[in-house]
Amino acid sequence: MSICDFIIANGVDILAITETGLETVIDEHMLFDLIPSGYDILHTARSGSRGGGVAVVFKQGLNTKKIVSTTNYVHA
């Protein structure tokens, strides 16, 4: 089941995704395959290495705001 199918089948309003593996620049056409019509996505790639990244998919019309962290967390 794709992310798009999951969102539609479960009536999801907000979906957080970790370890997206998406690059800093995402092809707009690829995004349309990931999320259904009527939704938006905010994504932050992992800087300095491959993999990682987080994304939030949400219904359009929800009052959202992207907050950028100024703290770099490193696993010990």
**Domain definitions of the chain by residue range:** 3-59
Specify the amino acid at residue 39.
Y
Other residues' Cβ atoms within 10 Å of the Cβ of residue 12:
15
Q: What is the pLDDT of residues 17-53, one digit of tens each?
A: 888 777 666 666 776 778 899 999 888 877 776 667 8
What is the spatial distance between Cα 42 and Cα 51, in angstroms, rounded to a whole number?
Answer: 17
- pTM of the entire structure? 0.74
Confirm if 29 and 67 have CB atoms less than 8 A apart. Answer: no
Kindly tell me if the per-residue pLDDT of 65 is higher than 70: yes
Q: Which two tokens stand for residue 56?
A: 């939030």
Contacts for 15 with CB less than 8 Å, ≥ 6 apart: 3, 6, 7, 56, 57, 58
